[in-house]
Amino acid sequence: MRYLFKKAIIFIITLLIISVLTFTAFQVIPGNSALTALGMEATDEAIETLKEELGFNKNVFIRYFDWLKKVTKGDFGDSIQYHSKATDLIKDRVVVTLWLAIISFILILIIALPLGVLSALKKNSIVDKAILVMTQISMAIPPFFLGILLTILFGFVIKIFIPGNYISYKEDIAGFLYYLIFPAMAVAIPKISMLVKFLRNSIIRELKLDYVRTARSKGNDERTIMYKHVLKNAFIPIITLLGMMLADIMAGTILIEQVFSLPGLGRLLLVSISNRDFAVVQAIILYMALIVVLINFIVDILYQFLDPRVTKI
């Protein structure tokens, strides 16, 4: 219980620090969001009026606490570009980004875990060497360039999807998920390679430990040793890596969304940054930060459940 309480406190403090950094960053960067909203021909009077409406004329500390109070209620302010609530703009787009991350993560699990186990069991064989070569190559290709290659291959050569096309989940959920598979592959493939290598090394390391030799001396067959003992221990450090991957996927979808023209948070973030639409940018950054911190919190809990020794560290 003490361990959970400590992690919960760290979780809250981390979010507070991120909120301070996020708010402060957009107070010191150059640019006038009021001028951007009104246009270059806006009068000084109109700019000052808008600044007053947005609260820019208040002390920075007062503005932060006013903003934080609204954020805790789910109000991130209004978009000066789209003239609507920042949360309303995020609602539809977050579905695209979340599903892209979920599909990517599922692909990582169903492909990497079997390959990692197979590579470890077939250590130094032709199969193992072939898997290692493929993982090395795929790790060297940046996700955005991999996205371009997948678009050329599946869009222009094999022609099983239309590049740049998008089907809304409101229109056709099956079509929506189908068009997310290809960008999800671009996100997942480098992560699959990383997980395969990590899992392979983790299993090989476990197989060399004393408890495996003891289990063999007691007459246990290799299958029982592998699935009841080795994999359980080998997966403990994998949990941490999977948590880091899932957090990285959330941030890594930004470029992939641009490559595949997906209307997710990535595109909205880039457009909002270029237009200095700070309410939207702050909302997206805090959302991503919340997801990352929450994932790390869950990983810590799972890690403690799988290995109670961590509470003593």
Domains and CATH numbers, the chain: 14-71 (no CATH), 89-312 (1.10.3720.10)
Does the pTM exceed 0.75?
A: yes
pLDDT tens for each residue of 99-127: 999 999 999 999 999 999 999 988 889 99
Q: In b/e form, how buried is each residue of 181-207, taking b as 16+ CB within 10 angstroms?
A: bbbbbbbbbbbbbbbbbbbbebbeebb
pLDDT tens for each residue of 249-295: 877 777 888 889 888 888 888 888 777 777 888 888 888 888 888 88
Distance CA 159, CA 209 (A): 50
Q: Give the highest mean pLDDT range of 58-72, 115-129, 207-221, 292-306.
A: 115-129
Question: Would you give the distance in Å from CA 8 to the centre of its chain?
Answer: 21
Q: Tokens 């996020």 appear where?
A: 22
Distance CA 257, CA 253 (A): 6
Distance CA 221, CA 213 (A): 11
